[in-house]
Structure 1
Amino acid sequence: MNGKENTSAGDVLENFYPNGNPGNQTAGEILMSYVDKPVFEKIDRVITSEEFLQILGEDSIGNAGDTVDGDESHKTPEWSETTDFRYRMNHRERGCFMIFNQEVFDIKTNLTLDERIGSSTDARNLASAAAYLGFEYIQVFNNLTRSKILEWLKNVAAASHESYDCFGCAILTHGDENNELYARDASMNITDFTNPFTADKCPTLAGKPKLFFVQACRGHKRDIAVPFTLSVAPTIEQAELKLIPSQADFLIASSTPEGYSSWRNKANGSWFIQALYLCIQRYPTLEIMQIMTRVNRMVALHFGNTNSESQMYKQIPSVCTRLTGELYFHKPGSTVVESHITVSTG
């Protein structure tokens, strides 16, 4: 506050000045000094979940003012407490896992779509990882055209998943910004893969987890290394009809954030798939987001590429989750289901 050095981010947050930062204040000092005081009240205590639910039931507070472009809703929200937030993973079978492995390309674009040497290693590792997670129906599709990919996605989505726990899909290919992905002969988008499996189009997967893993560049920027100091360390609910958003229950794990390139080793495969395979093998009883956090950490800390100027390039995966429950594939001490892996050239 008085130009002192080594101020913390919290200090900056508390003393925010729109026209600049007087002295070496931390982000915390600046943020907490935000001048628009009338809309901010000091928090004297944390409201309990019971109090919050009681407030939601009062006439004075609710969602009577909720609106989307003028479409108002006046229904009071309802929330029934549950003791189990886990997905049901005891159907007759685990389900299907599709792997689209694009190594060679015929498409003419502004990008140079070189042969993706090492991608077959990724496909093999993913098939093994899917088997380890208990998927019985694992199919590897090599170098398909856009029409063939769409045909396979449509057919699998139209079939019944009634007796399955979940669905999995991996896309190994070249990519670009705005989630653009490349088939052998044309460009696609991640939504081409996810849309056939939304709850309205694939009702037998409604309320079940749908996992998508994407190994592809999402731009041309390269992440660089920054030094730092390390500082970190089921039951079945009664069946009842529920209304869910059609886009719910998806997890989309990308090898890199939007705008950045993704690294692949010609012998060992991509950094992301290597880490995913190892973490599934090492931590099979953890919840899926715990596994993916370990994947992020492994890629971020244990992989790197140094250029001729000794610049170290790094990478961090990006996980988008719309899951509505905790996802566990194996309980501690459980055995892995024997799965059948099929390779198809489509």
Structure 2
Amino acid sequence: MDNPQPLEEEAYDMSGARLALTLCVTKAREGSEEDLAALDDMYQQLLFESIMKIDPTAQEFQQELVKFQQTMDARTDPISCAFVVLMAHGNEGFLKGEDGKMVMLEDLFEVLNNKNCLALRAKPKVFIIQACRGEQKDPGETVGGEDIVLITTDHPHTIPTYTDALHVYSTVEGHIAYRHDEKGSSFIQTLVKILIEKKGPILELLTEVTRQLAEKELVQEGQVRKTNPEIQSTLRKRLYLQ
């Protein structure tokens, strides 16, 4: 049998500017200030230029993303990547603004895709979403093994509209996202800790985030709950932040 060929180790060029936008609803979301503080520390450590907007309405979620896109496209210096952190109450596919109205996540993602944001064309766009995706609660299951998924990608001459994006949800579809009133959310706190302290491609680091969260036992209303993030990636290359 022929020896398998190793995967190419091509990585995104991270020598340009790193930009971050955080939109966070704090209303009725105790502990979100701790998440904002942790994110601010991460941005400083990883050399991101950061913008934070607190308590955006549903319309302002969209407006701030468009403003972020327009600012990037107007710059003359090279941009390497963008982080967008969205924190709010939500449901599957939607976030709730400070005004109680809903905005579609897909509409927000569209603003920075390869068609609509020239500055980020073929460059990584990382979306971190700390929000509920439904009302289901996971009590956990007993298992004895792991599933391994191998993802391979092609390198076409033209670029698909939706490549180079990474969407990291705090919980899986249909489920609650947990947040401690004083310590913040386990997802954001664990994510920040791993991205600051560990080195490696971001998908490997996110696997470590998933592992650590899967080992935690969260107690809600006296019941033990389990939670894990969901990672959706169309990245074509390895993304290193350190």
User: What TM-score do you get using the length of structure 1 for normalisation?
Assistant: 0.62
1:287 aligned onto 2:201: yes
Q: CA deviation at 1:314?
A: 0.8
DSSP-derived class of the 1:144 partner:
coil
Counterparts of 1:63-74 in structure 2, within 5 Å, are none
Letter in 1 for 2:168: A
Q: 2:23 aligned with 1:100, yes or no?
A: yes
Cα distance in 1 for partners of 2:102, 2:237 equals 33
CA separation of 1:279/1:230 partners in 2, compared to 1, >3 Å: closer, same or farther? Answer: farther
Indicate the residue corresponding to 1:305 in structure 2: 219
Instruction: Determine the C-alpha separation between the residues in 2 that align with 1:82 and 1:257.
Output: 29
CA distance in 2, matches of 1:272, 1:82: 30
Match of 2:14 among 70, 86, 89: 89
Task: State the number of aligned residues.
Answer: 230
- Cα-Cα RMSD: 2.4
Paired residue for 2:176, among 229, 254, 261? 261
CA shift for structure 1 position 48: 5.6
Residue 274 (structure 1) aligns with: 189
Question: Equivalent residue for 1:296?
Answer: 210
- In the TM superposition, residue 249 of structure 1 has moved relative to its aligned partner by 0.4
Q: 2: CA distance between counterparts of 1:253 and 1:297? A: 14
Q: 1:318 — aligned with what? A: 230
* Structure 1 residues 46 and 173, CA gap change in structure 2 (3 angstroms): farther
Q: Which runs of 5+ in 2 are unaligned?
A: 148-155
Quick one: distance in 1 between partners of 2:107 and 2:47?
26
User: 4+ residue stretches of structure 1 with deviation over 4 A?
Assistant: 45-49, 81-84, 228-232
Tell me how far 1:306 sits from its aligned partner. Answer: 5.4
TM-score by length of 2: 0.87
Q: Report how far residue 47 of structure 1 moved.
A: 8.8
Q: Does residue 123 of the first structure (1) align with residue 36 of the second (2)?
A: yes
Once the two structures are aligned, what percentage of the paired residues are identical? 24
Deviation, 1:147, is 2.4
Contact 1:224–1:313, Cα closer than 8 Å, also in 2: yes
Q: How far 1:312 sits from its partner (Å)? A: 1.6
Contact 1:143 1:183 survives alignment (8 Å): yes
Judged with a 3 Å threshold, the aligned counterparts in structure 2 of structure 1 residues 223 and 82 are, in CA distance, closer, same or farther, namely closer
* Aligned equivalent of 2:58, options 143, 146, 151: 146
* 1:144-293 superposed matches below 5 A: 144-159=56-71, 160=73, 162-177=77-92, 179-185=93-99, 186-228=101-143, 242-283=157-198, 285-293=199-207
Q: Secondary structure at the match of 1:259?
A: coil
Deviation at 1:231, TM superposition (A): 8.0
**Could you tell me how far apart the structure 2 residues matched to 1:329 and 1:48 are?**
29
Q: CA deviation at 1:297?
A: 1.0
Q: SS at 1:275's partner residue?
A: helix
Using the alignment, how far apart are the partners of 1:83 and 1:217 within structure 2?
36
For the 8 Å contact 1:101–1:120, the answer to whether it is kept is no
- Contact 2:59–2:103 (8 Å) recurs in 1: no
- Distance in 1 (alpha carbons) for counterparts of 2:218 and 2:59: 36
CA distance in 1 between counterparts of 2:237 and 2:42 reads 22
Point out the structure with max Rg over C-alpha.
1
Any conservation in 1 of the 2:82–2:126 contact (CA below 8 Å)? yes
**Higher relative contact order (CA closer than 8 Å, sequence separation 6+):** 2
> Do the aligned partners of residues 144 and 306 (structure 1) sit closer, same or farther apart at CA in structure 2, a change above 3 Å counting?
closer
